[in-house]
A and B are shown apart, each in its own frame.
Chain A
């Protein structure tokens, strides 16, 4: 019974306290609102609030700015990087295409120049000739030959002279209807009748597999100078007379023997054989007629 009375008293006290505080708060709020709205003054309370909230707001603002900066500095840059990469790819592709076009046009120009020189050379030849392109090279270490894309269908036969715009390249070794094998003049089994352009002395040009020829059978009594041009002699009707062969690059004068040892540098660049001209052989009957007065 006593307990029930005590609990009732306590509840009443609580209710009274709640009503009192609520009334107080409402009153204060009302006073604050009336005073604020009425006077429109930035009072102490406002200052206190702003001083309290300010740092937090500052912190948040700084954080926001940092986030903004971060976004600008990193995320936007990342987007930019992606864009730049795509742009870079596009430009690189464009550059490659342009370079390819440039290379093609350079190649076409070079081929054009080479063929133009070959055509001029061909027009200067008195004999009929056939243009050909090198399609295969001898891979063995013991021979020097190439395969060309013209054969007996175009009148090419074994022994025909093969030249390019720089001079003598070699001779036809074998021919099929559409292809032929050319024995290069630098091959060890090659031998061409040549002469020194100034002294008009004849000799035999032989290959030694390297990028030089060996000029044989030039008597020691003949004066030979380095830099003298060697041309085809034209005997036998295989090569026309006066086709450039090379330049005398070294003369070995030995005390013994009858002949000079002469090294000749080819006028043809064997590293870059591409377009060749096959010259038809002169008829033996024509040769006889020329030789007889």
Chain B
């Protein structure tokens, strides 16, 4: 249930990003909502479930954005593993670093991907722009807190089973009751 919920949520975030957040094809400040989900998965969910959720997310992004298939998937998986690795190594309290780290990793992963792709074909991508990418990283940080809250709520909701199995448990009689 958690996997399906987050899969749908990821696709929904991408759709919102490509429609409502993009008033024109040239709009530069569309928040990368999908990356907040990547960060959330890295912090909160286990590896297997996270990878299952990341596959359709990266695929949807590749379909709806860009001309290099697989680039967004690399960004998602790269960001996920980077965040997971760093958060596992850091000794400080998680809440202190989690949002800045999401934004920083977004910047780092994007820069690495841009360098690699540009090395293969210089005219495939638009040139790297630090002010623009810093603004996008800031947007990721700004949207991180409310979206983390939303994801927490979705996770709590999804963890409740549709069928109330716990109510179907057979209640055994009280063993300490006196025999009449």
Contact = CB atoms under 8 A, between A and B. Distances in A.
B108 to A, nearest CB: 15
Contacts of B123: 188-189, 206
B22 A137 contact: yes
Interface residues of B, number: 31
Nearest to A269: B24
A135 B121 CA distance: 29
Interface in A108-157: 134-147
Given A142-B114, A188-B126, A209-B127, A137 B66 contact: no
B26 A139 contact: no
Contacts of A271: 24-26
Contacts of B25: 134, 137-138, 144-146, 184, 270-271, 273
A183 interface: yes
A201 interface: no
B114 A139 contact: no
Interface residues of A, number: 29
Interface of A: 134-147, 173, 181, 183-184, 187-189, 206, 208-209, 211, 270-273
29 contacts: A134-B25, A136-B18, A136-B64, A137-B25, A138-B22, A138-B25, A138-B66, A139-B17, A139-B30, A140-B65, A140-B72, A141-B28, A141-B133, A142-B66, A143-B65, A143-B125, A144-B126, A145-B66, A145-B67, A181-B63, A181-B67, A183-B67, A188-B124, A209-B126, A271-B24, A271-B26, A272-B24, A273-B24, A273-B25
